[in-house]
Chains A and B, each alone.
Chain A
């Protein structure tokens, strides 16, 4: 039996309505509503503890919602768990390998739990091992793997049974940039080739920006914005030119110029929001020269999703607590 759902008539692969999860006093997910189109790469972006993983756990039937409804691949996550499970694959945020088994044995275990035929299984196993470049390490025990190798094996495993919908919970945490890039390419290929719907959580801005057709910002258990990365970035209203100058300075010199949309001062830097930053940078220098302002350095940047996130929530995505948790996860991964 193929776990891929053939009944592909519905438009949305995930429909979430007012989903809530409460742990005693803590409200982890506070009324989340969104839809994911079939064949889409959808991102949940937010700091650690925002409720992304809890949302994923509910959608993958691992925990029960406190209230609200959700459908995955058109199956209700409460009433039709078995069919939801048949339709999905997941790469967990935390380690989930048996390190007393070899890499290959972990994959065989997975394949058999998904009832793959042995021919299909051995083909898929060699495919995914090749993808994550673990072919020559496949037959050593996972306890001898590095953190990055374990992560790659988990990703290989999650892709192995080619599900209709794949959940990737922080798929590239702790990976080196090269491997990360390779995983991204594969996620895109998987999405294009098999029309797999992918929902990923991340706190890496570039990841969401590069991969996702739409991104939901998650903060304190709520979705605070949801749109394509382009449209989200357009909310910033232009590019940012930052100038290192000697303070004090009269901000009005810049804010009275009509093509400069916004002026912000941060420490020794002025941040000007403009359209067409590449062209306007010269005009900005002109304005400064005319007013006798000495400029030490100039920097032009396109707004990132992080800028938008800060604008909406008033804080960054990678708070200190997040990176600490990452480190703990890596240490934990090594200790196993």
Chain B
């Protein structure tokens, strides 16, 4: 059963917390900024890619993807914080289905991740990213949303079974970082060594980043159709996994 009022108010809470945590927003913009300056500017003259764009242009969608990945896993796993501070009990004891509660968290987290993704795009443009604006460019919002939904669901699913802060660091180190490095965000997935290449092909972020390149840069490895299909499938699967995990996980 789906309770829309519950979804709405849980979404609203995430938005309010996001707006009030200014330091967190700044922190999450500084990291992509450093990556773009350090990596992008640094490697721009060293790396030559086939195509009408340079490495910096190639990197910007990758860093947008990175920012979405980390923000999303973080947002999902914030359920550990809710547990630690006892707030999850308050939500779980109300007569709302676990699925509605999980959906509220996912939609709330996706909204804030989306805002940050757009900010990173703007920073990229300010730093010299050449945005080829066409009709399909606006589809980048859809890709950002699907990336966010996939990885918030992942964070929330893992967070459902954890109950302490230490667990949170482990999620970041052993889940988010590998997903980032083996995704084609920094270098084209096709240039990775063979085993890693196939791992990358199983990683939803690979298609998410490729989709962002297709929309923002106008070039992609897999084609926007495959990217969109892969991201839709991964989002749907992850939402179901998340709903299941959230129902089974421990609330206290």
Contacts and interface: CB of A to CB of B under 8 A. Distances in A.
Interface of A: 3, 57, 60-63, 82-83, 85-86, 88, 90, 92, 94-101, 105, 108-110, 112-115, 141, 157, 336
Contacts of A92: 86, 89-90
A322 to B, nearest CB: 19
B95 A3 contact: yes
A60 B93 contact: yes
B95 A100 contact: no
A95 B82 CA distance: 11
Contacts of B96: 113
Contacts of A86: 95
B9 A112 contact: yes
Contact of A110 (B90, B97, B252): B90
A83 to B, nearest CB: 8
Interface stretch (B16-24, B48-56, B118-126, B142-150): B16-24
Contacts of B92: 62
A114 B87 contact: no
Nearest to A87: B95
Nearest to B3: A115
Given A86-B95, A92-B90, A96-B90, A62 B17 contact: no
B16 A112 contact: no
Contacts, number: 71
A85 B252 contact: no
B21 to A, nearest CB: 7
A62 B83 CA distance: 12
Interface in B72-123: 85-87, 89-97
Given A114-B95, A115-B3, A100 B20 contact: yes
B193 to A, nearest CB: 44
Chain A to chain B: the 10 pairs with minimum beta-carbon distance, closest first: A96-B86, A85-B95, A112-B9, A113-B94, A86-B95, A96-B90, A94-B86, A100-B17, A95-B86, A98-B87
Nearest to B86: A96
Nearest to B88: A96
B251 interface: yes
A334 to B, nearest CB: 13
Contacts of B6: 112-113
Contact of A109 (B13, B21, B93): B13
Contacts of A3: 95
Contacts of B3: 115
Contacts of B251: 62-63
B93 A90 contact: yes
A60 to B, nearest CB: 6
A62 B13 contact: no
Contacts of B97: 82
B251 to A, nearest CB: 6
Given A85-B93, A100-B21, 14 more contacts: A57-B252, A61-B93, A63-B251, A85-B94, A94-B86, A96-B87, A97-B87, A98-B17, A101-B13, A105-B16, A108-B9, A110-B94, A113-B6, A113-B9
A87 B96 CA distance: 13
Nearest to A86: B95
A306 B68 CA distance: 58
B8 interface: yes
A141 B251 CA distance: 25
Contact of A62 (B5, B21, B252): B252
A113 B85 contact: no
Contacts of A94: 86
B162 to A, nearest CB: 17
B85 A336 contact: yes
Contacts of B87: 96-98
A21 to B, nearest CB: 12
Contacts of A88: 93
Contact of B95 (A82, A95, A108): A82
A62 B95 contact: no
8 contacts: A57-B252, A85-B93, A86-B95, A92-B86, A95-B85, A113-B94, A113-B96, A114-B95
A139 to B, nearest CB: 13
B211 to A, nearest CB: 33
Contacts of B89: 62, 92, 96
A116 to B, nearest CB: 9
B129 to A, nearest CB: 34
Given A85-B94, A113-B91, A99 B85 contact: yes
A83 B3 CA distance: 15
B90 A114 contact: no
B168 to A, nearest CB: 17
Interface string B1-39: 001011011000100110011000000000000000000
A114 B94 contact: yes
A141 B87 CA distance: 15
Contacts of A99: 85
A98 B84 CA distance: 11
Given A60-B93, A86-B95, A113-B91, A98 B13 contact: yes
